[in-house]
A and B are shown apart, each in its own frame.
Chain A
Amino acid sequence: MDRRNFIRTGSLALLGSLAAPSFASPFGATGEKTAVAEAMNHFGVSEADLQKVLAAALEKGGDYADLFFEHTFSNYVGLRDGAVNRCNSNIDYGMGVRVLSGDQTGYAYVEEVTLPEMLKAARTAARIASGNKKVNPVALTEKPVKTNFYTVSTPWEGLLLKEKMPYLQRLNDKIFAADKRVQKVTASLTDDTSHILFCNSEGVTYYDYRPMVTMSAFCIMEENGKIENNYASRAYRKGSEFLTNDVVDVIAREAVDNTAKLFKAVKPKGGEMPVVMAAGGSGILLHEAIGHAFEADFNRKNISIFSDQLNKKICNENISVIDDGTIAFNRGSVNIDDEGNYGQKTYIVKNGVLNSYLHDRISAKHYGVSPTGNGRRQSFKNVPIPRMRVTYMESGNTTEEDIISSVKNGIYVNQFTNGQVQIGAGDFTFFVKSGYLIENGKLTQPVKDINIIGNGPKALAGITMVGNNLELDNGTWTCGKDGQGCPVTQGMPSALVSKLTVGGES
């Protein structure tokens, strides 16, 4: 069997009994052929095919076209009621054709990657323009992955299901052993491996190998007839070297602690109050309050509340916020985005000034700036749009203790489940799974299950203290926009927001 056929069918082959790790690595690893050449072979296309499809895409007069090939295989294995008793594997395979005409987009995709099907898709997407143009084929030049932020030691393809199972069993057993109140545990391990081949009408082509792993545990506890649930998870762009007893033990401990503390928690009295954001997951504030509103598609359309704020001071000059695609093994990192631009570290707020929006190709052209590497898509079925990667605030110089002690009456929040924002109005929210009341500068009563709402520009301007303890949250965060899910993470040092509206009793 040649390599192409092996990989096409092989993702599942490896699931069961066969394992041939020499075939299961990223393309280009052997150095015999370039990664792109191997990927073209894998998808069964030649450079001439790609040129023909690109030409068809532009035959109505479009300015630009790109082709995005993807082969993703995903495996899930789950534990429930004490046993690892469920699994799922999925293959997604296909390619999408995008045509741009000015800032207009035509898009079509196919699952049968044959020349006639690709040409049909190209001609559908081409209709975004309305003219006639003879397009000369452009020579494709490989853009190599400059720095690999997610080098894999042992690919998931090489691991048998039975080798994954003991980790879930250990996760279950550790959680039950940690607390007598535990009633139920569900746990899961998912791994995804994507082979991405890209080329565009400017002659750029690249190949990227994208691993992802998520391990999570959901825990139900009962105390005196009262039931509470909570969870913990870790997600990285890593191969199966992710699987260690240490990571299992950390997730187990966290799932138990997160659930146990809810029994003592109450709903606070609602209303406006100072909010201390704990280090880590509090980066959700940045993601919702400013991150989305900085995505340049909203700004070029003038519908973001920050549309007129570029290069203006929007918060305290000690604050800098970054959207970063270059953190090793991070869930939100990108070697190269889905439009062929390298992942990079982008200061969106620098010393209190709105420094940069997050761009895709269309918006970068609109603003006449270099792309920031934020053009991402959920899969070959979607158009790339500006998306966040890893969004965090740089550390300041205050201790968390000093921040808390500065608050007379307020709330301290440290675990979140979800958030949302209205781009134009600026109202954003995040749901607090757990936190504490602050009374006279001290953490007192635990609180839980409350929503917090604020307005993006006001909240940012209201950050008056920033801690010296930046932490990234490596939980399983997925950002939704225009019906596309995208893996991201976020981080934050502890910080004081002078006023937000906290849900609660009246």
Chain B
Amino acid sequence: MISTENKKLAQWAMDYALKNGCQAAKVRLYSGSNTSFELRDTKMDRLQQASENGLSLYLYVDGRYGTYSTNRLNKKELEPFIKNGIDATRFLAKDEAQTLPDAARYYKGGKPDLKLIDPKLASINPDAKVAMAKTVADEAMGKDPRIISVESSYGDGDSFVYQIHSNGFEGEKQNSWYSLSSSVAMKGDGEARPSSYWYESALFLNDLIKEGIGKKALERTLQKIGQKKIKSGKYTMVVDPMNSSRLVYPMISALYGSQIQQKNSFLLDKIGQKVGNDKFTLKDEPHLAGAFGARYFDNEGVATQPRTIFDKGVLKTYFVDTYIANKTNMEPTVGDPSILIFETGGKGLQGLIADVDNGILVTGFNGGNSNSSTGDFSYGIEGFLIENGKLTMPVNEMNVTGNSLTLWSSLVAAGNDPRLNSSWRIPSLVFEGVDFSGL
């Protein structure tokens, strides 16, 4: 919770900045707490508990702009902190594009509660938390003689933000979260100790899936035993919903106004153009109640709204904040997306695999990167060989290499199976003719 006292402190800090030389100012107050219990082989290994606070100041001084943050929340220390921040900002070069957003664009309140905070959080007994992590571990512990280690953990926390701007914005955000996870390591071939994991998370304890986590981690590890590198070549690539976001990431990064303004985007000057095929439709749906990432305003206080980003492969929008809009001739949109919803297809992962004659199912990426100017990417992978619609062998130590524009033009199917505990709801995806390097 942000206390009334701290809200008053934020208001005071803004007033103090305005009185001491700022023409405009923004204050953001953060407060959060978290708890975790980690078990190893069903026994307690580590417990951690924390709570923290922070105050950030965004100061607009004589056409210049500086930001300052501290976790020392008392007036006696904030006074010199703010005054000296103002003095320091005055040394900078002018940047007239740095302004607060037009007040007309702010979220004005009045919409229904987004249901992101669980009132139960503070009242859960620590023993109950440990018991949940223990249940996760029990599902895997002792279930196979090759098991070396079963790790499981329970975590929860909350996060609160209170933000005020000198041209009239006041907003508050809050959410809670819970997670249960498991990781299982086994003796594999030679010295190898393959391991895999599974996790579930939710905003409300009642929605948290508490069963099947240890079991899934174990199954996923067992499937990896005997991984081999296979022949280099072009394969159909199927990516499961735990990993498909990795391929969307470069496409989203390329849409930030700052990247466009800095000419560092392979999607520069591509609005209205087809950059993927018809199966590629991606929307920002910020107002889904009870969903990770839901919000009525972005980091600038600007009201969010549903927005199509890619429509049947055609690029519809960039993420343009006030600074970039001031600096370029682009219309401001929103600083960043909230909840990404990928248009789903009709099949689950198994159904998608069944349609592939010669492919690789990617179940994990291992390192790699993407060139933001050109869209070229190359990632390490592990997964399974698909032959005639069936998984026939676990594979590893291979790379997948290509270009994002080519890749999204070769999308042939999307699944119906996005993970709902992420603000990026990306299902299984299938791409044709992708370069894999192995033997």
A residues lining the B interface (CB < 8 Å):
8-9, 12-18, 80-81, 83-94, 103-109, 111, 124-125, 127-128, 160-162, 165, 183-184, 186, 220, 222, 226-229, 267, 270-272, 288, 301-309, 381, 383, 417-420, 422-431, 448-455, 457, 501-506
Contact = CB atoms under 8 A, between A and B. Distances in A.
B401 A270 contact: yes
Contact of B84 (A12, A106, A417, A418): A12
A419 B367 CA distance: 6
A427 B396 contact: yes
Contact of A161 (B81, B88, B268, B380): B88
Given A85-B65, A94-B71, A107-B48, A425 B91 contact: no
A271 B437 contact: yes
A81 B371 CA distance: 21
A426 B191 contact: yes
Contacts of B398: 453, 501
Select the residue from A91, A228, A455 with max chain B CB neighbours within 10 A.
A91
B272 interface: no
A495 B332 CA distance: 51
Contact of B367 (A15, A229, A451): A451
Interface string B23-47: 0000000000000000010011111
A419 B366 CA distance: 8
Given A88-B69, A381-B52, A427 B92 contact: no
Contacts of A161: 88, 91-92
B87 A220 contact: no
A58 to B, nearest CB: 15
Contact of B66 (A87, A106, A305, A453): A87
User: What 3 A-B pairs are tightest by C-beta distance, nearest first?
Assistant: A270-B437, A16-B87, A429-B367
A355 B166 CA distance: 61
B400 interface: yes
A20 to B, nearest CB: 13
Query: Which one of A92, A106, A271, A272 has the highest number of Cβ atoms from chain B below 10 Å of its Cβ?
Result: A271
7 contacts: A16-B87, A109-B50, A125-B47, A128-B46, A228-B373, A301-B149, A420-B366
Contacts of B44: 104, 128
Given A16-B85, A501-B438, A302 B50 contact: no
B401 A451 contact: yes
A184 B262 contact: yes
Contacts of A108: 48-50
B397 A89 contact: no
Interface string B68-84: 11111000110011011
Nearest to A106: B47
A89 B435 contact: no
A196 to B, nearest CB: 17
Given A449-B370, A450-B378, 14 more contacts: A12-B81, A104-B45, A105-B47, A108-B50, A184-B264, A227-B374, A228-B371, A381-B50, A383-B46, A424-B195, A448-B376, A450-B401, A451-B378, A503-B401
A184 B372 CA distance: 14
A109 B398 CA distance: 42
Nearest to A457: B191
Interface in B185-231: 185, 188, 191-195, 224, 227, 229
Given A417-B369, A427-B380, A13 B84 contact: yes
B234 interface: yes
Contacts of B232: 270-271, 506
Contacts of A90: 68-70
B399 interface: yes
B93 to A, nearest CB: 4
Contacts of A267: 376, 378, 401
B128 interface: no
A453 B193 CA distance: 18
B399 A83 contact: no
Interface of B: 40, 43-50, 52-53, 64-72, 76-77, 80-81, 83-89, 91-95, 98, 126, 148-149, 185, 188, 191-195, 224, 227, 229, 232-234, 262-264, 268, 327, 366-374, 376-380, 382, 396-401, 435-439
B437 A85 contact: no
Given A160-B91, A303-B185, A455 B68 contact: no
Nearest to A99: B47
Nearest to A505: B435
B191 A305 contact: yes
B156 to A, nearest CB: 15
A15 B50 contact: no
A109 B126 CA distance: 18
Contacts of A17: 84, 87
A419 B435 CA distance: 21
Contacts of B371: 228-229, 448-449
A226 B370 CA distance: 16
B373 A501 contact: no
A84 B88 CA distance: 12
B367 A302 contact: no
Contact of A429 (B46, B77, B195, B366): B366
Contacts of A506: 232-234, 435-437
A9 B91 contact: no
A502 B438 CA distance: 8
Contacts of A125: 47, 49
B193 A425 contact: yes
A383 B38 CA distance: 13
A13 B80 contact: yes
A88 B66 contact: yes
Contacts of B229: 501
B91 A503 contact: no
A420 B191 contact: no
A501 B399 contact: yes
B145 to A, nearest CB: 14
